[in-house]
Amino acid sequence: MAIFPQIFFSVCFILSAAIGTYGLYYVRKAVATRKWLAGQARITHSSVESHQDIVTIYAARVEYQFTDDGQQYTSECINLVQNGSSDSRLAQKIIKKYPRDKLVPVYFKPNNPNESVLERRFSILIFAPLLFGFVGTGLSGILLYNLA
């Protein structure tokens, strides 16, 4: 029996499981933000940044500051889903929502205010690694079992 398919599907199984675990971590974190404390932040910087890859990627860079128990914190995390697209209008829409000096709600982890977000919502994109991990692990496992 050829060893290559077993090695290939074993690697696929392990990688899929790792991606699924990564996805599960972010889904759990997104759900946990619902229990984070709320405060008020001031937007200190708001701009569209771009970098050239295969295509030009545009991302909103929004920096904000907030205070918890007399300690000041600075962050750039808008939400748990990365914002970056080849469409600059999406980044423009975000910075229009968060102009400099605007006061906005902020949500932060009670025991670690360094972890904060401006938006607790999460999109279907956050489930993609979890779904890919489960499907990939399942298919790889079935194919490995059938090869044995």
pLDDT value at 125 more than 60: yes
- What is the average per-residue pLDDT within 130-137? 83
Predicted pLDDT at 134: 82
**In Å, how far are 95, 111, 129 from 98, measured between CA atoms?**
5, 26, 28
Bridge-based pairing of strands 56-68 and 37-52 is: antiparallel
Predicted pLDDT at 1: 54
Predicted pLDDT at 54: 85
- What is the average per-residue pLDDT within 23-37? 86
Q: Which residue has the higher pLDDT, 127 or 67?
A: 67
Unique residue bearing structure tokens 């360094």: 114
For residue 120, what pLDDT band results from cuts at 50, 70 and 90?
A: confident
**Helices assigned H by DSSP within the chain:** 4-32, 88-97, 128-147
Q: Are 64 and 104 in contact (CB under 8 A)?
A: yes
pLDDT value at 114 more than 90: yes
Task: State residue 24 phi and psi, 5-degree precision.
Answer: -60, -40
**In Å, how far are 46, 98, 129, 137 from 143, measured between CA atoms?**
49, 49, 21, 10
pLDDT tens column, 59-94:
999 999 999 999 999 999 998 876 677 888 888 999
Q: Which residue has the higher pLDDT, 57 or 127?
A: 57
Mean pLDDT rounded to a whole number for the chain: 88
CA-closest candidate to residue 133, choices 3, 9, 19: 19
pLDDT value at 128 more than 60: yes
CA-closest candidate to residue 109, choices 99, 101, 98, 120: 120
Q: Are 1 and 148 in contact (CB under 8 A)?
A: no
- What is the average per-residue pLDDT within 132-141? 85
